[in-house]
Structure formats: structure tokens, C-alpha cells
Amino acid sequence: MTDTLRPALPGQKTSVPETTRVAVRRVASLGSVAGYIDALGFIDLSGIYTAAMTGNTVQLGVTFARQEWPHFVLVAITLGSFFCGGLLSSFIRRHLPRPALELLIMAGLILAAQIIRLSVENPVSIELPLLAVSMAMQGQTISRFGGMSIQTIVVTNNMLKCADALVGRYLPRRQETPTPVADFILPGCAWLTYVVGAAAAAFASAHFSLPFLIPIVILLLTTVDLVLSSTKEA
């Protein structure tokens, strides 16, 4: 079971708006991290994504057809690393007392990628798998916010959820209960912060020698947030 931000229960002091604000904060944090890491991979590492496996799968087919074997192998390694990261993450999550602590492991992988980036002349073949595994771990670790399923490492489904919720909120059928505001705010936030994270990565990659420190700090703060919340609920 993935770590969940639970909606307020009857009798709890936490109000629904407060729960939504907490969910938005966490979606924004993880969405920006995913967009940031994905963009760094695209900019610095041969145009390969570290989170968007749909794009990588398309690249795999195209490079195979064109017999571009060096790029094909690199894309295949990234896809395999992501899948193995999902397996590893699922195993770890089932044995950790607090699944949110898996975000610390993810931060460690990103730190390792930063060290590789600085110390290895051609870091692509090592850095890409590390980042792909870290993104898989994020996707496995927390995917429910305020009782709603939101995947922060991809945006396609979030775009569709946001569009559907907007119609349900402002153009519902007669006698249909309007969709809650949170149902379009959360996926919209995940989409928007992915863009913000990607833009920040482009800027950081051009101006800083340690661009991976930014998502590491965000992950550490998010882990503290989740652990403190879990402790209070207990």
C-alpha cells in the first residue's frame, strides 16, 4: 500500500479545506521534483526522460527501427532501471514501518547521481539509471493525496482528471452533484508544478554546478512533513 494523505474523518479537528491545502503542498513538492529530474535527464543526458516512460518507450521503438543501437541501448537501460526501481520500491515499501522514509532512499540516489555527474567524464550510462530508479520509487511511495489518486511522476492522466473535474464542477448534468474543487485543483497542481520543476531544472543546469541539491532538499522536507503527520495521526 502506498503512503496516503488521508481525508479528514468525522470527529477529527482537521477541516476539509486544511486537508486540501496539505494535499496541494505535497503534490506541489513531489510534482516539482519529478518535473525537475525529468527535465535534467532530457537536457543533459541524451534527450532521455527519467520519469516519462511513455516517451522513452516510443524512443525505444524508433531507435530500433532506425538501428541506432547506442541510443537504443541507453533507452533500454533507462526503461529497465525504472522497472527494476518499481520492483525494489515495492519490496522496500512493504518492509518499512513508514513508507514515506523511502523518499530518503530516493534522495540518496539523486545525491549519488550528483556525485557521478561531478566525478565521471561521461556520466550518462550511470546517472540515467540512478535517476530512473529514483523516479520509480517516488511513483510507488506516495500516490494518494486527500483521498484522491494522483501520480506525480507523469502528467497525462492528471491533465485528463483536471479537465473532467472542471466539467463536473462547472458544467454538470441536471441534478448532478458538482465535483469538489479539490478534484481539479490537485491534478492541476501536479501538472503545473511539473512545468515549474522543468523550468527550474533548465535554469539550474545552465547556471549551477550542483543542480541536484534542489530536489534533494525538497524531498527531505517532504519526508519530514509526512513523518510528522503520520506521528500525529498515530
pLDDT value, residue 57: 97
pLDDT value, residue 175: 83
Angle, helices 182-207 vs 16-44, to 10°: value is 30
pLDDT value, residue 3: 46
pLDDT value, residue 84: 96
pLDDT value, residue 14: 40
Strands (E), the chain: 3-5, 142-145, 148-149
Report the 3 state secondary structure along 34-66.
Answer: HHHHHHHHHHHCCCCCCCCHHHHHHHHHHHHHH
**Contact predicate 28/187, CB 8 Å:** no
CA distance 43 to 60: 18
pLDDT value, residue 17: 65
Q: Give me the tens of pLDDT residue by residue for the chain, a chain 234 residues long.
A: 444 444 444 444 444 467 888 999 999 999 999 999 999 989 988 889 999 999 999 999 999 999 999 999 999 999 999 999 999 999 988 887 777 788 999 999 999 999 999 999 888 889 999 999 999 999 988 888 878 899 999 999 999 999 999 999 999 988 889 999 999 999 999 999 999 999 999 999 999 999 999 999 999 999 999 888 877 665
The one-character DSSP state at 177 is P
Show the cell assigned to 188.
492541476
pLDDT value, residue 220: 96
Residues 6+ apart with CB under 8 A from 142: 2, 3, 4, 5, 26, 30, 99, 100, 103, 152, 226
Closest Cα partner for 186 from 141, 149, 224, 154?
A: 149
Closest Cα partner for 167 from 146, 190, 183, 186?
A: 183
C-alpha distance from residue 86 to each of 93, 181, 218 (Å):
10, 32, 21
pLDDT value, residue 177: 92
